[in-house]
Amino acid sequence: MTEELLSLPVPSVPHGDRGVAWLRAHVVRFSNGAEHARRRALTTKLIENVQVTSLDELAAVLGLPGSLDDIATIAPCYQPHEPVTAEADAAVERLARNHDEDTAARIGLLVQAWAATRAFAEHLRTGNPGPPVPVTRRAAQGGVVEVGLDAHPFGHGPHACPGRDVATRIAKNLAFRALHHQDEPFVLPNAWDHASAVALHASGFRAVGTTSLGVAAAHGIEDGAGLAGDETVRLARMLANLPFPVTADLESGFGGAPDEVAELVAGLGVAGVNLEDGRPHGLADPHRQAELIRAVKERAPGVFLNARIDTHWLGIATEETEDRARRYVDAGADGIFVAGLTEPRDVERLATLAPLNVLAQARTPKQLGDLGVKRISTGSLLFRAALRHTVATAEAVRDGRTPPDAFGYAEVQDLVSRGTRSCAG
């Protein structure tokens, strides 16, 4: 029934030669028939193979850099049933240097992206059910009917969303970033393969990281020496397709030059990365580490870059940690991660510089939150626990004892198939 309704024509809009009325009258969204087919081809082509990490980048790719304030003004007035403000008309005129279909398609894409992508990100952050765009409208029974989008969050039929892939990547990035700006810290569990990642998400964690020890050890490689690059990249690419934000621990970038690491990060598809300044035999020069961070943020601005500072567990003074934190944040780092940091005064000080990530420790999330921490990682703990549990289970079988509890076979099959389902349905 919904499919049939969504295949009906969209309500027509009156002609307009300026402002929002002009935009409505020239975009794919409010057209039907041959006009729709022509505009749809034009619009789809504009975002074909577009790989961006943020709405800002999308605006730049569409030839409208820095236009998002104007887009935000237009968006609430875009739908034909919404009243138009003078500000929205003025914003359209600022962006529409030419009043042609191509310009309308570019502005229209950004307006379509604006509210829907942010609503989708909220949906990913909170896990609240319900489609990000709740209803659309169709011309029927001589009037306009509302059609619910529960079954088709990205629409269906001729007007189905052409921006789904671009939107999904940007929304996951936005959701992951937003998790770092909540009142309470969030716990980021670290997975080492597909099954551990989907099982963690299914139990309610909104985002999942990777553990370098887990990934390296699972492949018979020693951790911390930058030797598990291929395995890490392969896993990150696989997890990037999951319907929730994933952040990958890239250690120090596996020896790549800044532009190579930047290219790698942009191409992985993950919502976040960790880059550490620890090197196999000490610490990176902070200036060079800042250059690496800057290069990555310029190339992939929407990817959350968590700068790990390895001073603390090498016993180096907190002043050095703070100095590095400032340099990395100035270079564009979105968060800082100081492994081994437990002293409350240090935690509080560093938490003022950027969203602070620490490893899970004796304090509760609430206590860490009171100190200003925003993200609590489990690091390699889950992998080590799984290893212990595996051995304990085998020993119980061998010794004739009841083995500890485990996931059922069907449960794992279900998790894997759920994990591979795409975002928003």
305 is a contact residue toward ligand HEM (CB under 6 A): no
Among 24, 26, 29, 375, binds ligand HEM (CB under 6 A): 29
Interface residue with ligand HEM among 59, 74, 116, 358 (CB under 6 A) is 116
In contact, 212 and 224? CB cutoff 8 Å: yes
CA–CA separation, 114 and 3 (whole Å): 25
CB count in 10 Å sphere of residue 54:
19
Q: Residues near 163 by Cβ (< 8 Å), separated by ≥ 6? A: 47, 109, 112, 113
Contacts of 4 (CB under 8 A, 6+ apart): none
Residue indicated by tokens 């390296």: 216
From the CB of 57, what's the least distance to ligand HEM, in Å? 11
Tell me if 40 contacts ligand HEM by CB under 6 A. Answer: yes
Contact 309, 325 (CB under 8 A): yes
Q: How far is the CB of 5 from ligand HEM (least distance, A)?
A: 10
Q: What percentage of the chain's residues is helix, strand, coil (to nearest 5)?
A: 50, 10, 35
- φ, ψ of residue 190 in degrees (nearest 5): -110, 120
Q: How many residues bind ligand HEM (CB under 6 A)?
A: 31
6 binds ligand HEM (CB under 6 A): yes
- Strands, E assignment, 122-251: 135-140, 143-148, 186-188, 190-191, 208-210, 246-249
C-alpha–C-alpha distance, residues 169 and 129, integer Å:
19
Stretch that binds ligand HEM, among 85-93, 106-114, 288-296, 383-391 (CB under 6 A): 106-114
Window 50-89: residues binding ligand HEM (CB under 6 A): 58
Residue 424 contacts ligand HEM per CB under 6 A = yes
Site for ligand HEM in 148-187 (CB under 6 A): 149, 153-155, 159-163, 166-167, 170-171
The closest of 421, 118, 120 to 242, measured between CA atoms, is 421
In 127-193, which residue ranges form alpha helices assigned H by DSSP?
164-179
Pick the binder of ligand HEM from 54, 73, 112, 311 (CB under 6 A).
Answer: 112
Q: Any contact of residue 373 with ligand HEM (CB under 6 A)?
A: no
- The DSSP symbol for 279 reads E
What's the closest the beta carbon of residue 211 comes to ligand HEM, in angstroms? 30
Nearer to ligand HEM, 124 or 341 (CB): 124
User: In the complex with ligand HEM, which residue's Cβ is closer, 171 or 347?
Assistant: 171
Residue whose CB is less far from ligand HEM, 160 or 225: 160
**Phi-psi category of residue 226: left, alpha or beta, with phi > 0 → left and psi -120 to 50 → alpha:** left
Residue 68 or 295: the one with the smaller Cβ distance to ligand HEM is 68
Which range in 75-83, 116-124, 273-281, 286-294 contacts ligand HEM by CB under 6 A? 116-124
Q: What is the largest CA-CA distance in the chain?
A: 82
Pick one of 43, 252, 306, 380: the residue that binds ligand HEM (CB under 6 A).
43
Out of 19, 132, 258, 272, which residue is the one contacting ligand HEM (CB under 6 A)?
Answer: 132
CB of 424 to ligand HEM, least distance (A): 5
Are the C-beta atoms of 308 and 274 separated by less than 8 Å?
A: yes
Stretch that binds ligand HEM, among 65-73, 108-116, 264-272, 343-351 (CB under 6 A): 108-116
One of 21, 25, 60, 133 touching ligand HEM (CB under 6 A): 133
**Binding footprint of ligand HEM on the chain (CB under 6 A):** 6, 28-29, 40, 43, 47, 58, 108-109, 112-113, 116-117, 120, 132-133, 136, 149, 153-155, 159-163, 166-167, 170-171, 424
